Every structure is written in structure tokens, then in C-alpha cells.
Structure 1
Amino acid sequence: MQKNAYLPGLLAALLLALAAGQLASLPWLAAHGGSALTLAMLGGIVLANLRPLPSRWQPGLRLCKQQLLRAGIVLFGLQLTLGQLLQLGGRVLLIDALVLASTFGLALWLGRKLGLDRDSCVLIGAGSAICGAAAVLATQPVIRASGERASVAVAGVVLFGSIAMLLYPWLYSLLAPLGLNEAAYGVLTGSTLHEVAQVVAAGRAVGEGAAANAVLTKMLRVMLLAPFLLLLAACWQRRAAPTGQRVPITVPWFAFGFIAAIAVNSSGVLAAGLRDGLLQLDRLLLATAMAALGLDTRLAAIRAAGWQPLLLAALLFGWLLLGGGGINWLLQA
């Protein structure tokens, strides 16, 4: 593919991200939690569903949703320290593990009750339990699922993850007077929200402290993707894969890059000016990735998938909110 093939989609997402940044600086929107990340995604969804987008945008949009998003998550680590990571410790890792296991197990059980095929149950369950579209795309080659099933799963987790991204800050405003603080809200967001970028947006809508805890919790959850895929591959190899044939495993290397960035920030070797410049770049990368995610969300494709996959994604969203909230309350209390 020619390098300039990425340019149209990249420019479209970048311009939308810059416009969202300008809108987010308006006093009324800033006072009501209108972050640049949230506005970039919502703007992308609106534009994508007003009229069909040019097909030549797709390579650039994929670049934004994958490579630029991962680069942005790695750079986000420059805002955090190893002390913050260790402070969360094993308790948060246990919360993540329980949310993952309960959500995925529920997806397999509920999906079969709804009449869905096993591949769809696994893909929607992985996306809901771990890290949204990235988990779906990482799981697809392991179980050799069709592209159509993967697209439906991605649509479902993006839809309900976007709803959660808007809902969580509002819930915080209701629950804060009852004792929910920014730190606990951050852990709840990171352990139950679908996409990494959605976690950043929902955390920043409340405050930088909430965003820090949310991203740390989410990245611990993302790192659980590697053992999850290894276990899934072992199960699938016994059930479905031909004898002697190896199943490919996708390792989320960007999660380890995120930890490396935290270590670099903790060491103090970065000059203040360089660190500030990298953090400004990080905000732009994340907003561009969110704009691309919105531009690639088609409501017609979600409707065409039928009610069963959407119902499963909706039920898992409800479990993440209520069941995941219960797990957080029990272990954080």
C-alpha cells in the first residue's frame, strides 16, 4: 500500500480531533464534562452516519484506531509513576481478573441461551471482558472466526462502550455525594469500561486523578489479554483446530510499552520541556484515535446484525455496570 493512501483518513480524523479540542475549551462544555476525546468520537459518529464516507479514508482510519491509539496509550504512561502503579497493587489486579472471568463466562452462557453461535459468544465476550475492539481482533484468529462475526462483535462493544463513556461521569456526579471518590471511580471505570480510549475519556471527564487510576487499572486488565489468549488457544486447539496445527497468539505489546513509559517518568530522566511536549502529542493522538473510532461506527451495520448479538452486548454492558460495580464495592470497601 502506498504511504499516501493513509493521508485522507488520517487528515479527516486529525481535523476532527483539532476541532473537538477547540470546542472542549469553551466554558459551557468544559463545565459539563465535554472533553476533547468524547467530542471527537461523538463528532465522528455524527459525520459517519450523515452520509457514506469515501472508501479511500479507510486505511488512514485504521492507522488511527490501531497504531496511533497504541502510541497514545504508551505516552499516557508519562503522566504516571511506579508508585501509583504499586499503590493499586494486587487488589486492583484481582478486581480486573474477577470482572474478566465473570463477564466472559456470562457471555458464553447467555449467548447460547440467545441462540448465538459459539464464535460470536466468544468474540463479544472477549471484547466486553477485556479491551473492546482490540480484544475482538486479537481473539478472531485464535478461534478462526469469520470477519463478519468480528465486525458485529466490534460494533456491539463500541456502541455500548460509547454509551458507558457518557454515562459514567454522570453516575459519578450522582454517587459522589454518597461517598464515591475520584480514586474509586477511576478503578471502577478502568475495570468495567470497554475500550482503552473510552476509559481515558470517562476518567478525564471527572479529573486527572480519576483518569490516572482508570488507565492504570485498564492497562492491568489489558495485560490479562495475553494469558486469556493462551488459555483460549489451548482450549480451541483441543476442540476445533486440526491436529498439529498451531493457533497464532496476539500479544498486546503496547501494554508493556505503557509500563516502560511509567518507569521512564518515575526515573526523572526526561527534561520537563520534553515531557510536556510528549504529553501534548499524547492528547492529540488519543483525540485523533477517538475521532477515527467514531468515523468508523455505522449505525446501519449495527442494526443489520440482528437483535441477538446486540442484546448479548447490552446484557454484558449491564453486568459490567452492576456486577462489576458490585465487585469493586466489595473489594474496595
Structure 2
Amino acid sequence: MQIFAKRSFWLAAGMTLTCSVAGVLLAKLPYINLIGALVLALLLGIAMQLTPLRLRQEASAGTAFISNKFLRLGIILLGFRLNLTKLAAAGVKTIFVAACAVTLTIFLTYWLSRKFGAEDELAILTACGCGICGAAAVMGVSPQIETNDEERKRENEVLAVAVVCVMGTVFTLLEIGLKPLLHLTAPQFGIVAGASLHEIAHAVAAGGAFGQASLDNALIMKLSRVLLLAPVALIVGYWYQHRLVKESKAGEVPTPKQLPIPWFLGGFILTSILGTFLPFSQGVLDTLVQAAYIFLGMAMAALGLSVNFKVIFKRGGAVFGAAVISSTCLLTFAIIMSKWLF
């Protein structure tokens, strides 16, 4: 059994690593970089479903391990990208706008998704993806949601990732086109891009289109939202635990469960502290962040390998509609904040 498990892991690792590295390389190309390395890895993982069924079944145990453990490792390493000194230098205004943007978008997206008929788990994953940092937020919050149907959960994860990818890409192009009409300075536009776009790749693509000042502000604002991933995941976990107890039938005593503390997100904050205050060279930090994207890409590819898309396409309308409205509201909010505070 142990030999089978090792074979399954290495087979899955080879398949997902291929997708992840290819995603990173493709994300360096013009126009394709709007999609982002993580979503590209997911799409390549989906393409891997064309491989022989026997091969995918043999890799399934390893795929489950990679989608769980490598995700956490990738998010921990991603903390090296977050420079706390730069965030502090950006001032209270940046943190305030980020906190408002995340809070309002999560609540609005979740509420609209539920109103439009989406199931609860899909609604909260989509809301967190739109509010915080796209695919990484979806996958970071997902472990906090307990479920007895892992296949359904994977479907919800992929659908939520698809929503934030499409919305982020569309709004990146929209914002670049609207910039001359909005009469924003380059630094103001960077604030708008970082506060309103979903993936880090989207914020970089839009901010970088109008110079270094725009790109710097886009990254600082976007990473301010990324910093909120840890507290949001913790809140979601406690909320679901509270609901499980509240919704248990009268007379039943719910089984005690471990508190849903996202320790790996604590690791994310620790690495951001280490990256900020220890004398790492920029080359070392870039390498660590690149490793983070490799591990996250492997987790996304593993997710793509194991999803039933026939079911997903039947359930996407509600969350897509909610995301369109909430993304429009988020963009409007970001424009107002950039003109008022920056």
C-alpha cells in the first residue's frame, strides 16, 4: 500500500508540476499574462483530464495530497511578497480602503449569490475570491469550510476560481480602457487597479500599463487586500462552526470539532515578517515567491484534474451574475476613494 501511495504521489507530482511550470512560463507572454499563472495551471490541469483514465485513477491519491498540502505551502511562501514596511509607509488610508473594499465586496457578493439561488459554500468562496485575491483566496478559505461531499466542494472551488478569473480579466481590460475618461493620475489609477481587481496578476497588468508609479500603488493596494486573507479565513471558519452548532437538531449534541484556525495563514504572516525585517536579497525573495507560485500552481492543477465540469456549467449563472454586480460596485468604490483620498 505504501509503495502504491508513493507511486501515486510521484505520478501526480509530475503531472501537476508540468502544468504549474507551464503556467508560470505562459504567464510571461503578452496578453496571456492577464489570465495569471494560477488560472493557467488550473486550465492545464483540466486539459490533463484527456490523459488515460487509468493514469488519472492511479494518481488520484497523490492529487488529493498535493491539492491540500502544497496549497498551504504555497500560501506560506507567498508571504515573502508582502513587505510590511511598504504597507506601513503607504499609510492608514491604504489599509482603510483595502478593509472597506474587502468587507463590502464579500458581503455584497455573498448576499447577491444567495439571492440568485447559489448554494451557500459556492457563494462564500466566490465572495472571498472577488473580495481578497482571486484564486489564492478561494483556495485559502476553502479548507475552513467543512463538508461531507468532497467532490461537490472541488466543483465549487473551480467554479469560484473561474468566476474571479473571468471577472478580473474583463475588468482589467475595462479599467485600462476607461482610464483616459476617468481623469485619474497614474498613482490614482494604481490605487483603483489594486483596490478593484481580483488577482495579483490583474492588478500588475493594469497598473503596469501606465508607468512605475501606477504599478507601485497597484501592488501596495493589492497586497493590502491580500493581508486580509488570514483574518477573513479565520472568521469564515468560526462562522461555519457556529452555524453547524446552531443548525443541529434539537436534542442532538454536535460532535466536538477542532477549532478552524488556519495555521498555514499564520505561516503566511510569519514569512511576510521575515521577508520584511531579515536581510534577504531581492533575488532570494523573488525565488521564494516564484516557488510559492509553483506550489500553488501544482495545487490548482491537481484541482483541475479532479473536477466534473458537466455539473459546474449547470450552476454558474447565479455567482457570475452576482460577481458582475459586485465587481462593478467595487470599481465604483475604488474610483471614488482614489479621487477623495489620493
Shorter-normalised TM-score: what interval? Answer: 0.7 to 0.9
Match of 1:251 among 236, 258, 261: 261
Structure 1 residues 293 and 245, CA, compared in 2 at 3 Å: closer, same or farther?
Answer: closer
Question: What is residue 45 of structure 1 aligned with on the other side?
Answer: 46
Deviation (angstroms), 1:122 = 1.7
Structure 1 residues 108 and 244, CA, compared in 2 at 3 Å: closer, same or farther?
Answer: same
Question: What is residue 270 of structure 2 aligned with on the other side?
Answer: 260
Q: Distance in 2 between the 1:162 and 1:216 partners?
A: 20
Whether the aligned pair in 2 keeps the contact of 1:96 and 1:221 (CA below 8 Å) is no
Deviation (angstroms), 1:211 = 4.5
Question: What is residue 177 of structure 2 aligned with on the other side?
Answer: 174
Match of 1:80 among 75, 79, 82: 82
Question: What is residue 227 of structure 1 aligned with on the other side?
Answer: 235
1:134-174 per-position Cα deviation (integer Å, ceiling 9, x unaligned): 43442234xxx544543443343133233234324323322
**Structure 1 residues not aligned, in runs of 5+:** 112-119, 194-198
Q: Tell me whether 1:57 sits opposite 2:65 in the alignment.
A: no
Deviation (angstroms), 1:67 = 2.4
Q: Distance in 2 between the 1:24 and 1:151 partners?
A: 24
1:284-316 per-position Cα deviation (integer Å, ceiling 9, x unaligned): 33443343344444432324xx4xx32222222
Q: Distance in 2 between the 1:20 and 1:98 partners?
A: 31
Question: What is residue 319 of structure 1 aligned with on the other side?
Answer: 325
Deviation (angstroms), 1:220 = 0.3
Question: What is residue 100 of structure 2 aligned with on the other side?
Answer: 94
Structure 1 residues 234 and 37, CA, compared in 2 at 3 Å: closer, same or farther?
Answer: closer
**Structure 2 residues not aligned, in runs of 5+:** 129-136, 209-214
Secondary structure at 2:97's aligned position in 1? Answer: helix
Secondary structure at 1:246's aligned position in 2? Answer: coil
Q: Tell me whether 1:10 sits opposite 2:8 in the alignment.
A: no
Deviation (angstroms), 1:6 = 1.2
Deviation (angstroms), 1:82 = 1.2
Question: What is residue 116 of structure 1 aligned with on the other side?
Answer: none
Q: When the two structures are superposed, what TM-score results if normalisation uses the length of structure 1?
A: 0.77
Identity %: 20
The residue identity in structure 1 corresponding to 2:58 is R
Secondary structure at 1:324's aligned position in 2? Answer: helix
Question: What is residue 117 of structure 1 aligned with on the other side?
Answer: none
Q: Distance in 1 between the 2:288 and 2:195 partners?
A: 25
Alignment: residue pair count: 307
Q: Distance in 1 between the 2:61 and 2:256 partners?
A: 29
Backbone CA RMSD of aligned residues: 3.2
Q: Distance in 2 between the 1:216 and 1:63 partners?
A: 30
Q: Tell me whether 1:33 sits opposite 2:36 in the alignment.
A: no
Q: Distance in 1 between the 2:219 and 2:307 partners?
A: 25
Q: When the two structures are superposed, what TM-score results if normalisation uses the length of structure 2?
A: 0.75
Deviation (angstroms), 1:215 = 3.8
Question: What is residue 202 of structure 1 aligned with on the other side?
Answer: 202
Whether the aligned pair in 2 keeps the contact of 1:140 and 1:150 (CA below 8 Å) is no
Structure 1 residues 80 and 219, CA, compared in 2 at 3 Å: closer, same or farther?
Answer: closer
